[in-house]
Amino acid sequence: MKIEFENYVNAKNVLIAVASGLLIFLSLKINRSFDAVFLLAPGISWLFFPAGVKLLLVLLGRFPAVLGMFFSSLLAGMSNWADQSILTIVYISFVSVACYPGATTICQKLFGILNDFSLVRYWHIAVLSLVATLMDVLIHQLIYFSHGWTNWGDYLTQSVAVAAGDFLGCFVVISVFYFMLGHLQPHVKTTATQ
């Protein structure tokens, strides 16, 4: 299969990548403003909106969004993990983004979800949120454990807490978008035909 990059490098895809990176950055800032309510421990939130924003961006923006989220995660990683090697930061940034297109692809194939959301059912949102959460949490927690950033005694507790926050973040963001999409489309069609 030959990949023709000129089909991918255009103003629309650059805009999607930049907007996605900025939305991830903004969602992290917004989530931190709720730390007093949702923060369980450093790095563990009971409601982690950026997980849902990542999933939504993958569903809407595809590869350009993933690229923008990767660079945003890379920049955040350089400030949050300054004591780590650049290779570790790149690896963690890649994993933090790659789980979402992986989960999306799996769920779209299993449930026949089209890119335009026309066949999405509410239960798909729950399953998609769960698959994305499990992939992300399992891989991240294994990385943290293998680097000695967490111990075995805390591993299960932290994994469950992070999974709960990521799942709720995914479910809330995707549900709100799905609700808005369902309620805005008829209005847009009616307005356009008048």
Domain segments of the chain: what residues?
5-193
The candidate with the shortest Cα–Cα distance to 136, out of 104, 178, 175, is 104
pLDDT for the residue numbered 118: 62
Give me 144's structure tokens. 């943290």
Q: What is the pTM of this model?
A: 0.78
For residues 16 and 56, the answer to whether their CB atoms sit within 8 Å is no
The CATH T-level fold of domain 5-193 is Arp2/3 complex 21 kDa subunit ARPC3 (1.10.1760)
Give me 18's structure tokens. 């930049």
Give residue-wise pLDDT tens across range 121-139: 778 778 888 888 888 888 8
pLDDT for the residue numbered 114: 66
For residues 69 and 59, the answer to whether their CB atoms sit within 8 Å is no
pLDDT for the residue numbered 23: 92
pLDDT for the residue numbered 62: 86
Which segments of the chain have a pLDDT < 50?
A: 1, 184-194
Which residue matches tokens 């780590």? 84
